[in-house]
Chains A and B, each alone.
Chain A
Amino acid sequence: MVIEIVKGFLQSTGFAAITGGQIIMLLISFGLLYLAIKKGFEPLLLVPIAFGMLLANLPLAGLTAEPVVEIVKDPITGKLVSKTKEFGGLLYYLYQGVELGIYPPLIFLGIGAMTDFGPLIANPSSILLGAAAQLGIFITFIGAIALDFTGPESASIGIIGGANGPAALYLCSKLAPHLLGPIAIAAYSYMALVPIIQPPIMKALTTKEERKVVMKQLRPVSKKEKIIFPIMVTVISTLLIPSAGPLVGVLMFGNLIRECGVVERLSQTIQNELMNIVTIFLGTTIGATAKAETFISGSTLKIIGLGLIAFALGTVGGVLFGKIMCKLTKGKVNPLIGAAGVSAVPMSARVVQKMGQEEDPGNFLLMHAMGPNVAGAIGSAVAAGLLLTFFGG
């Protein structure tokens, strides 16, 4: 009798139900937590992601369970009505924000409110570097097709190369939701690894003289320009590529709130509270998509490999275009700033600044790199919109 009760209890615990795959995922989440807490690697994102992963891979807790709805006959009226049998877990509901494409535009809103487009307005030609760095997206897209991924899947994998987390999530949730886990984790981890991935590529593609180029100081940008800019970009880009509207439009909306100067309270809320709340929900639920059943597979490894290629090629595209601009302007543009064309704001701009100073300690490239950097955010949102136009229908 006692033995049976103990046995029953033991079988109801997670220990009896845990699978090998789940144990591996738990170990990965411990590793990520270690990196985030002890090593300080992107803790704002990695702590929620790692803990979401931890929660989703503990068996029987049902945090990610879907609600179960039954169609039953109402005993009184005799009509068929739907009745919720199980309500589903917390993370299931939070996840709807990813699946329905709600969080990524909200994050874009926050990025818009935190971004100063001044360097871009002062030096508009740097916007082309933000276009060139999207090269990685499309080459990786071809590579993924060659590796037998379907069209929508390949598009979602390629977009990792935009180094733009929310754009990648948005596209992936629309085109290939079953790959969200690996793609989100690849995109966000490579963004954290920008200071390691980019410098060798930048060094290999440029000469010492090119890295030493000092750029002219940017002109001051008037408030009027800063206010017209977001309105103009929204109208133009949404008319040209309507499916880029949700991302570019919201990014520019956030920026207008920041620059117009009459809604300071809204601007503060978007930059701080709203952004933090969405980051918590987003991080936890992305982590929770990394369930052992779907995560541990050959395609995850392929995605992680392709994602790295996408990132590297984006950097290559940006730097090469930077070299072209350097030639055309007779040495007025430092090609290093092209590397900042992959968005990853502001990390890649900082990498450029650091590399420039290694060659010449008096060279300040940060503000020049911010131009292509914020252009990259627009560029990758446009690229996501285009891919959505091709595969969304």
Chain B
Amino acid sequence: MGKDISIVDSLIISLVSMVAVFVVLAIIYYLVDLLKIVASKKNEKTEEPIVKEDLEDEELVAVIAAALAVSLGVSIPEVNIKSIKRISSTASRWAEVGRREQTTGKL
């Protein structure tokens, strides 16, 4: 390519290059997508920790049921838990830290 090029040339170069950048990155995109399949196939063995998590979840349910029973003043079998959802906190980290400090200070 010569040193002095016209606007038309530059348009063509730009178009070709932009398409080429897309093509290269799109190829990488598809390959990375394939990578996921390869990686997940070989990771099927990791079932054990999932079972453990379930157990921990049951423990968590028990803890929450007990806490509810105490605060509502009823016995544990009377507490019916349908679902437990974690609510993402909208408070800032600072507010959270402040609240925690407040509660621990009162203990």
Contacts and interface: CB of A to CB of B under 8 A. Distances in A.
Interface string B11-54: 10111011011111111111111011011001100000000000
Contact of B26 (A121, A128, A222): A128
Given A379-B25, A382-B24, A387-B17, A142 B7 contact: yes
A260 interface: no
Interface residues of A, number: 44
A117 to B, nearest CB: 9
Contact of A150 (B4, B14, B25): B4
Contact of B3 (A150, A228, A241, A362): A150
Contact of B28 (A151, A224, A378, A393): A378
B27 A141 contact: no
Contact of B35 (A121, A130, A154, A387): A121
A236 B26 CA distance: 11
Interface in B70-107: 88-90, 92
Interface in A366-393: 375, 378-379, 382-383, 386-387, 390-391, 393
Contacts of A375: 25
Interface in A112-134: 120-121, 124-125, 127-128, 130-132, 134
Interface residues of B, number: 39
Nearest to B91: A361
A93 interface: no
B17 A130 contact: no
B18 A225 contact: no
A138 interface: yes
Contacts of B27: 236, 240
Interface string A93-112: 00000000000000000000
Nearest to B46: A222
Contact of A127 (B11, B29, B35): B29
A115 to B, nearest CB: 15
B2 A229 contact: no
A152 interface: yes
A240 B5 CA distance: 25
Which of A120, A145, A240, A379 gathers the greatest number of chain B CB atoms within 10 Å?
Answer: A145
Interface of B: 1-7, 9-11, 13-15, 17-18, 20-33, 35-36, 38-39, 42-43, 88-90, 92
Given A145-B10, A382-B21, 6 more contacts: A138-B14, A141-B10, A142-B11, A151-B4, A229-B35, A382-B25
